[in-house]
Amino acid sequence: MIGIIEDKRAEIEALCRRYGIRKLELFGSAATGAFDPATSDLDFIVDLGAYEQGVSHRFLGFADALEALFGRPVDVITEPSIRNPYFRAEVDETRQPVSAATDGEAVV
């Protein structure tokens, strides 16, 4: 896992608590060592927990907060959205845990 993720671990954990994220994983170039600080984005898989009313607000707010934290584009996807078997295989090869949830509710 790349240094900018490790360096911001506490801030990532705080964002996960704030937005009620149950699990956050990194995949793609940042998880494989092919990350280029000048051009690469960060790719995350997020587990939002229950899909209650307002879940889209949490999802979009979390994605925006990650972009602000890292100062670069991020792609955030959910596990159910991975339907292409070739993309799933690529994701599964590189995914790494970043954060696991607390039992707390989102405070957004």
In a domain, 92, yes or no: yes
**Residue 26, domain CATH:** 3.30.460.10
Residue 19 near residue 62, CB atoms below 8 Å: yes
**Overall domain count for the chain:** 1
For 23: left if phi > 0, alpha if psi spans -120 to 50, otherwise beta; the answer is beta
Is the pLDDT at 90 greater than 70, yes or no?
yes
- Model pLDDT, residue 1: 62
What domain range is 89 assigned to? 3-100
Q: pLDDT tens, 15-46? A: 999 999 999 999 999 999 899 989 999 999 99
Return d(Cα 36, Cα 103) in angstroms, integer.
35
Residue at 60 is within a domain:
yes
Band of pLDDT at residue 108, cut at 50, 70 and 90: very low
Q: What is the CA radius of gyration of the chain?
A: 13
